[in-house]
Amino acid sequence: MENKEQLTPKETSEPESYYFELQASWGLTKHMGGLNATRDLIELCHIDKDSYVLDVGCGVGMTTCYMTKEYGCKVVGIDLSEMMVERSKERAKRKGVGDKVEFRVADAQDLPFKDNLFDAVVSESVNAFMEDKQKAVSEYKRVIKPGGYVGFNEVTWVETPPPELVEYMSRALGGAEFLTYGGWKDLLEGAGLTDIAAGTYKTTAWRQWANEVKQMNPRDYLGAWGKFLSLCFKNPAVRKYIKEISVPPKSVFRIFKYFGYGIYVGRK
Ligand SMILES: C[S@@+](CC[C@H](N)C(=O)[O-])C[C@H]1O[C@@H](n2cnc3c(N)ncnc32)[C@H](O)[C@@H]1O
């Protein structure tokens, strides 16, 4: 990487803790590949109107609501954060799907569901945050019926990253730890899933941004920015965090050469 200095954040207390707090407050969570990647994941998991689906780490409930609205399936969304679950419930109400979805606070590594319950478990940009990734994926397998699918979309290193980039991404993105294609695929195999379908996709900073905008309606998007600016204005700790994780625009474009996203699906 050409500009080491600019990507190395200064020492702070725990900036990671602001990552999800900020996203929940401004009502926007994301994953790479946006809506196109979500559709690919849904198709690969064979989700249709008869499916009972678990959306792990649902964030503000965008995919949970989308699945039930567009595919007619019943969905349970879980997230570790109470604030995310609240945002999800508000979204479901706004979208008129409150009676078809359910949201709960729960840890992916210790799911509060009985064995063989769901037809599919999906998660988007969640396993990177897990302390014990293998335990989480084994939990997903436990709660799906025989023949059911586990599928996830995760940021994937496609070129060996410089250590300072790994450290920066972890600090800026809530302590995330990304794996390579082999690393993510091994988790499905390690859980005893079969018929693995997996692939990686490259993207650019522009395309990723455009995907995020496309996934939200303009009112939600402007509202999110309004909340974000108001938070920055009111909370000096948030301002400090944003300053510390900010990198020059040029670096943002450059770092996309090291990672893309991967879609990984296995069958029980
Ligand atoms: C980057 S966001 C992605 C949210 C959503 N899937 C999306 O694509 O918009 C990651 C989410 O995973 C949740 N999360 C992190 N660790 C978790 C865990 N152990 N169990 C459940 N959810 C978790 C976070 O609270 C956050 O809402």
φ, ψ dihedrals at 202, nearest 5°: -95, 155
Q: Please give the number of the atom of ligand 1 that sits closest to the Cα of 38.
A: 8
Residue with tokens 């069958």: 267
Q: What is the DSSP letter of 61?
A: S
Give the chain's mean pLDDT.
88
- The predicted structure's pLDDT at residue 222: 82
Ligand 1 pocket mutation pick from 129, 211, 212 by most atoms within 8 angstroms of CB: 129
- The predicted structure's pLDDT at residue 93: 95
What pairing do the DSSP bridges indicate for beta strands 144-157 and 74-79? unpaired
- With a 6 Å cutoff on the Cβ, whether 80 touches ligand 1 is yes
- With a 6 Å cutoff on the Cβ, whether 124 touches ligand 1 is yes
C-alpha to C-alpha distances, 8 to 22, 158, 208, nearest whole angstrom? 21, 21, 23
- With a 6 Å cutoff on the Cβ, whether 84 touches ligand 1 is yes
- The predicted structure's pLDDT at residue 90: 93
Q: Please give the number of the atom of ligand 1 that sits closest to the Cα of 31.
A: 8
- The predicted structure's pLDDT at residue 256: 84
Which residue positions in the chain have pLDDT lower than 50? Answer: 1-13
Give the distance (Å) from ligand 1 centre to CA of residue 3. Answer: 30
Q: Answer whether 0.95 is exceeded by the pTM.
A: no
**Cβ–Cβ < 8 Å for 128, 157:** no
Structural domain spans, the chain: 4-267
Q: What is the DSSP letter of 134?
A: H
Tell me which CATH code domain 4-267 carries: 3.40.50.150
**Cβ–Cβ < 8 Å for 232, 238:** yes
Cα 142–Cα 58–Cα 176 angle in degrees, nearest 5: 90
pLDDT in tens, 83-118: 999 999 999 999 999 999 999 999 999 999 999 999
- The predicted structure's pLDDT at residue 16: 57
Task: Provide the percentage of residues in the chain whose pLDDT is more than 70.
Answer: 91
User: Which residue has its alpha carbon closest to ligand 1 atom 13?
Assistant: 57
- With a 6 Å cutoff on the Cβ, whether 85 touches ligand 1 is no
pLDDT in tens, 219-247: 777 887 888 888 788 888 878 888 877 77
Separation between Cα atoms, residue 164 and residue 7, nearest integer Å: 7
- The predicted structure's pLDDT at residue 17: 63
C-alpha to C-alpha distances, 240 to 8, 38, 128, 225, 247, nearest whole angstrom? 15, 33, 25, 18, 13
- With a 6 Å cutoff on the Cβ, whether 126 touches ligand 1 is yes
